[in-house]
Chains A and B, each alone.
Chain A
Amino acid sequence: MAQAATTLPHVTFHEAAEARIVPWYLWCAVAAITCSMVGIHWDISWHRTIGRDSFLTPAHIMIYMCGVLAGISCGYLILATTFQRNHPLRDSSVRMWGFRGPLGAFIGAWGGIAMLTSAPFDDWWHNAYGLDVRIISPPHTVLALGMFGVMLGTVLLVLGRMNRAEGGDRRKLEWLYLYVAGMTVVNVFTFIMESSPRVIQHSALFYRNICIAIPFFLVSLARAAGRRWACTEICAVYMLFWSAMNYILPLFPAEPKLGPVYYPVTHFVPSNFPFWMIVPGFLLDLLFARTVVWPKLKLAAIAGALFLGGLIAVQWPFSMFLNSRYSKNWVFYGNNFDYNTRPTSYSLRDLYYPVEKTPEQFWTGMAIALAAAIITSWLGLYRGDFLKRVKR
């Protein structure tokens, strides 16, 4: 690597001139992703409780604030780094289209533009094909990609600064990084929320969906953190944030504005209890601590199996608890049914939906889940190594 790079003769390092360990634009980016996750959970609960919405609901405003704050943060960084010759980050920036700035700022700005693009696209979509009935539609996917861009941009902004820092400064930035990484995992779980309801948690489909979506992000983000318990800590952030939203939302009264109302709702409906991800996360941390020199494929094979095994070990029995009368309280909110939940539905009757009709289908599905966990863990290991080296 050193052979491939050449040192400029007149390089100056201005970053030390920045007094604050976490400058305002980093706080601004972190606030952006917090707004997006609070907004999206609020919005989902809004649809489950009230049913209909408009362009300017509080939940939508929170989501739009993500784009605004990301635009302020990343726009400032790119413009300041490009046009201020003595800017502290000028030497720690990448170049694109004649502009300079941290890599995370460009990705965050890209996310902001994608979010901006999704707004008129989504509005036209509503007029052409009807109002929202599904989370996953083309304009919503553009919005999700934009939010993910802001999320990844923030991860890289924090990570680049963290990787350039040392000692106590780095340790402080690591806490901020764990929060941002945890919110990234929240984002992914939010995107697959419709694909992981309680009624399918005894099916291979549920585990396959989780194994496709999560290990890549968890493994890569944890590997870049360089901390002993990074997986556990990131998963804990996910569980804490998810729980906080689920405890706060039901405090506020709300009533359905769409019918038919099969299930009476008087307050905002929370989502499901978070998955016990700290268990597979803890197992991954134990593995990674003892296998530093293992080849990636071998490590991914064990990591994938541990992830899936740990998830099954905890989530399979816990879903039975959620399906019992003991979960019907404010702690576990097992009665978090939408206003339009029919009395005959599997969820209201605390039943599992038989996704796989035969044992062969079930075990084939589980084999696919295992393969997915291994492949995504392997990709995560590679991506984590890249993230560990990001300095700009």
Chain B
Amino acid sequence: MRRFALLLLATAAHAHIGSPDVFFEGSAGPYPLFVTIRPPTVIPGTADIEIRTSAPDVRELRLTPTPLTGDGAKFAPTPDIARRSKDDPQFFSGTLWMMTSGSWQVRIAVDGARGAGKLSVPVPAVAQSTKRMDAPLGIALAILGFILAIGVVSIAGAAAREAQLSPGIEPGASFLRRGRRTMAIASVIVVAALYLGNLWWTAEANTYDRYIYRPLNAAAAIGNGRLRLELSDPGWLVTRKTDDFLPDHGHLMHLYVLRLPEMDRAWHLHPEMTGPGVFDHALPPMPAGRYALFGDLVHENGFPETVTTEFTLANDLPGTPLSGDDAAGPTPNAARIVFDREPTYRVGKPTQFRFRLVEANGEPSPDMELYMGMPGHAAFIRLDRSVFAHVHPGGSVPMASLALTAEAKANPHSLHHMGAIPPEISFPYGFPKPGPYRIIVQMKHGGTIETALFDVDVTP
């Protein structure tokens, strides 16, 4: 077996990448819900929740945030009543506080004409950044701060100079001197206070910086036709591990490999963990070139992460034929995936992306199968790779996270697709920012996994 050149590179990522909002479609009892959760950018912070239901008989929606696992999941606070839109009675919204970084869930309780229903949606909550102070606010606060600082000095001077004089008495020379001396001392104290205050602020900011999310680093190495991915923790929460991953659709890692720069070829692979934080996989045949990797993982507390890195093949790789759930595309088969496009796609708007698998004659494929327990898989990638999201027909929530919710534990079959597999599927998702995107869609029929690539332009 030839040995190939390797390239090691690690870059930043997130649970998905650059796509923090959660989109989920499910049912609370008899009531279908389309849930959008926009997590806070700072922790503690507030998450915005929007819920649309197609059921006209929903009377009330109650929302409760709790950690997904641990003691916090058992002791829930009093729920909030979601606000019903005046314009659209089937649209509800609410705001919930998330107090710590980690894996949370929003519990949704529905009351309606057909009784009660419950649904929980996992939400990864992390501090994403520190907001910088806008120039106008900074100038305004600086002016006010200056007035306050000068005010202290002037007040101290006035107090020493005149406060003890009887009414109508003008301060003499000694009082004037005392006033000036007091102002000098007050100036020193004010400067010292400002200096110490700045030290305090800097220390607080540094403390907060340590809580800003840092994804696991991934280093890729190619040797003997195999890919070795080694994860390392750059430091974030001390409780994070690199060997506590849950199987998601039967695999610890879902790895998307995209040929650069055009991203015209895509592979969906499933490396095995061979040691703590070490994944290994026999690569399929691949032409020489540079490749981007996006690996989806779910920790045991339900917190998902996407690691990303690159590797370069100096020569064509003969590779090992694809097997099992591994797939590559676009597939050249007669059957093809059709994208039923909307006229436009706008940033942040929750949208159902609809696809159909049709035979060469244009008829719907008659022999649909589940692909890793799902009617289909999709990945949304911005062409500059600043956004990556792995989405299922249920939404952007990993199934391994969903399996930790109380409802899933009470009814594990709720996570599985039941009944006939339709040739038409939809993925609920919303783009986080404008620009050109590529969508990788995969569906399975007659033992064959079809992979198709589509482009969309997202407008602001």
Which A residues form the contact surface with B (CB < 8 A)? Answer: 1, 3-8, 11-13, 15, 51-52, 91-92, 94-97, 103, 106-107, 110, 113-114, 116-117, 120-121, 124, 126-133, 137-138, 141, 156, 160, 164, 255-262, 339, 386, 389-392
Tell whether, in the assembled complex, residue B148 and residue A129 are in contact, meaning their CB atoms are under 8 Å apart: no
Docked Cα-Cα span, A124 to B205, in Å, equals 13
Of chain B, the residue at the smallest CB distance from A117 is B144
Which of these binds chain A: B75-83, B240-248, B362-370? Answer: B75-83
Given the complex, which residues of A lie within 8 Å of B159, measured CB to CB? 94, 103
- Measured in the bound complex, the distance between the Cα atoms of B152 and A96 in whole Å is 11
User: In chain B between 30 and 63, which residues have their CB closer than 8 angstroms to a CB of chain A?
Assistant: 40, 42-46
CB distance from B146 to the nearest CB of A (A): 11
> Which of B42, B131, B165, B204: most chain A CB closer than 10 A?
B165
A51: chain B residues at CB < 8 Å are 77, 97
B171 close to chain A: CB less than 8 A: yes
A126 surroundings in chain B (CB, below 8 A) = 42
Distance from A3 Cβ to chain B, minimum over Cβ atoms (Å): 7
Which residue on B lies nearest to A152, using beta carbons? B155
Instruction: State how many angstroms separate the Cβ of B355 from the closest Cβ of chain A.
Output: 39
Cβ-defined contact, B155 with A262, below 8 A: no
Please measure, in the bound complex, the distance between the C-alpha atom of A1 and the C-alpha atom of B334, giving whole angstroms: 106
Which residues from chain B contact A131 at a C-beta distance below 8 Å?
42, 44-46, 97
Tell me if A256 and B78 are in contact (CB < 8 A): yes
Stretch at the interface among B133-141, B221-229, B384-392: B133-141
A127 to B169, CA, bound (A): 51
Contacts of B347 in A (CB 8 A): none
Contacts of B140 in A (CB 8 A): 120
- Whether B145 sits at the interface, judged by CB under 8 Å, is yes
Known contacts A8-B168, A103-B159, A130-B42; is A113 also within 8 Å of B131 by CB? no
Residues of B within 8 A of A (CB): 40, 42-46, 64-67, 71-78, 80, 97, 99, 127, 130-133, 137, 140-141, 144-145, 147-148, 151-152, 154-155, 157-159, 161-175, 197, 200-201, 204-205, 208
Q: Which residues of A contact B151 (CB under 8 A)?
A: 106, 110, 113
Q: Is the beta-carbon distance between B76 and A124 smaller than 8 angstroms?
A: no
A137-B204 CB under 8 A given contacts A107-B155, A113-B144, A262-B75: yes
What are some 23 contacts across the A-B interface (CB < 8 A)? A8-B170, A11-B168, A94-B158, A94-B161, A95-B162, A96-B154, A96-B158, A110-B151, A113-B148, A120-B137, A120-B141, A121-B141, A126-B42, A128-B208, A130-B208, A131-B42, A138-B197, A160-B163, A259-B64, A259-B66, A260-B66, A391-B166, A392-B162
* Neighbouring B residues of A114 by C-beta, 8 Å: 148
Give Cα A79 to B249, complex, Å. Answer: 74
Contact of B170 among A5, A97, A133, A258 (CB under 8 A): A5
* Cβ of A288 to closest chain B Cβ, rounded Å: 21
Residues of A within 8 A of B204 (CB): 129, 137-138
| Choice from A5, A11, A128 contacting B131 with Cβ under 8 Å | A128
Q: How far is the CB of B213 from chain A (nearest CB, A)?
A: 13
Closest to A160 in B: B163
Residues of B near A156 (CB, < 8 A) are 163
Kindly list chain A residues whose C-beta atoms are within 8 Å of the C-beta of B137: 120, 124
Residue of B nearest to A159 (CB): B163
Flag if A124 contacts B197 (CB, 8 Å).
no
The smallest beta-carbon distance between B86 and chain A, in angstroms, is: 21
Bound-state CA distance A3–B174 (Å) is: 9
CB distance B167 to A129 under 8 Å?
no
- The distance from the CB of B371 to the nearest CB of chain A, in whole angstroms, is 37
Give min CB distance, A2 to chain B, whole Å: 9
CA distance A141 to B164 in the complex (A): 30
A5, A15, A103: which contacts B163 (Cβ < 8 A)? Answer: A103
For residue B132, which residue of chain A has the nearest CB? A128
Q: How far is the CA of A288 from the CA of B163 in the complex (A)?
A: 25
Q: Please name the residue on chain A nearest to B141 by beta carbon.
A: A121
Check A110 against B152 for contact (C-beta < 8 Å). yes
Complex formed: what's the CA distance from A278 to B201 in Å? 38
Assess the A259–B162 pair: CB atoms within 8 A: no
B residues within 8 A CB of A103? 155, 158-159, 162-163
Report chain A residues within 8 Å CB of B147.
Answer: 113
